[in-house]
Amino acid sequence: MKLYNLKDHNEQVSFARAVTQGLGKRQGLFFPHDLPEFSLTEVDEMLQQDFVSRSAKILSAFIGDEIPAAELEARVRAAFAFPAPVSQVQADVGCLELFHGPTLAFKDFGGRFMAQMLTHISGDKPVTILTATSGDTGAAVAHAFYGLKNVRVVILYPRGKISPLQEKLFCTLGGNIETVAIDGDFDACQALVKQAFDDEELKQTLGLNSANSINISRLLAQICYYFEAVAQLPREARNQLVISVPSGNFGDLTAGLLARSLGLPVKRFIAATNVNDTVPRFLQEGEWKPKATQATLSNAMDVSQPNNWPRVEELFRRKVWRLKDLGYASVDDETTKATMRELQALGYTSEPHAAVAYRALRDALQPGEYGLFLGTAHPAKFKESVEAILGQTLSLPKELAERADLPLLSHNLLADFAALRQFMMRNA
């Protein structure tokens, strides 16, 4: 597989290089040089296959001979160890539930596949993943790498500033996962990570890698569940399909568009955001004018400078698609709450991110069309706000309930690079 840097098309790298490096020069994103396409017959056949075999075929269409097919399939099987079911919400609307993985959010798909690819690529060479988190990404990274050979994971988080449940989710694992509560805020944690990556000796000795969220392997993994969704729909829904994607950094939407470029029958996509609506305003007015980020109920989408957007634009350019065919909507918190109650009345318990996507979908769906919205997180993940909005208590899924009783295994450190360095080098 060949990829190029969107900021400098002359920088071309292999899949292995793109995965280990994350970003190109000048922080440019990598984008596939070839955009494979399946024929109608091939897509039909693939939709009959099981999730893992089909996903291996999709991924190998991009990755090519850099990873042997059997090895890739084994890696996909290890990563995608949980289902992505479509739950019927109304006669013409379904929710693609992406929250049945270990951290109850869709980021498990991308995170776990990235972990498999990084460990495959580094072989027997030890790697240390160092990352800072304000909650969510840390849990996904920890679970994705948990128990993998030759990988050590160090996760920094601001002490006392993440939810107790979040902390339980990734600070109780032990084994190759080391969690460090820093006396400082999230920015202090990020600054420490940055200092570590600037320290050449540390980087070389430990084989530091950031497992960054813009990693190309995550995007490729996310393509697979769009196929899995269509495979579950009745045939007649296929060409009438509208998919609404709750968007923050627009990785998920990019993956959906890549699925369509492979030949998946999707009539149109809707980019659904909360009031952090840089993209909807851009699509409406043609001007890119990010505002200050606002805190909302759908906080994983509180992003005003979405970092995957250049990939969306590049794909439209390459495919000669028109941006004006991309649907969009922004949904405020009041409407999000009302929509969660509306879904509850339909017998479907939801959370703020999915509700944003459902609202955008319901308001735009035409007669004869079939709509899918992505359920990006389990409602229990946003227990406090969901309970307050719906006026009922939610029970935690079993894995989470069990974890809540385990002791925290975190280390404590001051926000001081020398201390972190010593901690990280203690066995080197």
- Binding site residues, ligand PLP, CB under 6 A: 105, 107, 136, 246-252, 300-301, 353, 376-377
Q: How far is the CB of 73 from ligand PLP (least distance, A)?
A: 25
Q: Is the dihedral of CA 253, 209, 67, 48 positive or negative?
A: negative
Whole-number Å distance between alpha carbons of 323 and 255: 16
Cβ-based nearer residue to ligand PLP, 60 or 298: 298
Question: How distant is the alpha carbon of residue 133 from its chain centre?
Answer: 14
Q: How far is the CB of 222 from ligand PLP (least distance, A)?
A: 8
Cβ-based nearer residue to ligand PLP, 128 or 274: 274
Secondary structure of the chain in the HEC alphabet?
Answer: CEEEECCEEEEEEEHHHHHHHCCCHHHCCEEECCCCCCCHHHHHHHHHCCHHHHHHHHHHHHHHHHCCHHHHHHHHHHHCCCCCCEEEEECCEEEEECCCCCCCECHHHHHHHHHHHHHHHHCCCCEEEEEECCCHHHHHHHHHHCCCCCEEEEEEEECCCCCHHHHHHHHCCCCCEEEEEEECCHHHHHHHHHHHHHCHHHHHHHCEECCCCCCHHHHHHHHHHHHHHHHCCCHHHHHHEEEEEECCCCHHHHHHHHHHHHCCCCCEEEEEECCCCHHHHHHHHCCCCCCCCCCCCCHHHCCCCCCCHHHHHHHHHHHCCCHHHCEEEECCHHHHHHHHHHHHHCCCCCCHHHHHHHHHHHHHCCCCCEEEEEECECHHHHHHHHHHHHCCCCCCCHHHHHHCCCCCCCEEEECCHHHHHHHHHCCC
Q: How far is the CB of 298 from ligand PLP (least distance, A)?
A: 7
Whole-number Å distance between alpha carbons of 84 and 333: 27
Q: How far is the CB of 195 from ligand PLP (least distance, A)?
A: 26
Cβ-based nearer residue to ligand PLP, 107 or 143: 107
Cβ-based nearer residue to ligand PLP, 95 or 121: 95
Whole-number Å distance between alpha carbons of 315 and 338: 35
Cβ-based nearer residue to ligand PLP, 248 or 280: 248
Cβ-based nearer residue to ligand PLP, 128 or 131: 131
Q: How far is the CB of 255 from ligand PLP (least distance, A)?
A: 8
Tokens of 331: 């949904």
Q: How far is the CB of 364 from ligand PLP (least distance, A)?
A: 18
Q: How far is the CB of 93 from ligand PLP (least distance, A)?
A: 18
Q: How far is the CB of 36 from ligand PLP (least distance, A)?
A: 22
Cβ-based nearer residue to ligand PLP, 254 or 410: 254
**What are residue 3's DSSP bridge partners?**
13, 32
Cβ-based nearer residue to ligand PLP, 46 or 357: 357
Q: How far is the CB of 427 from ligand PLP (least distance, A)?
A: 33
Q: How far is the CB of 105 from ligand PLP (least distance, A)?
A: 5
Cβ-based nearer residue to ligand PLP, 94 or 251: 251
Cβ-based nearer residue to ligand PLP, 196 or 301: 301
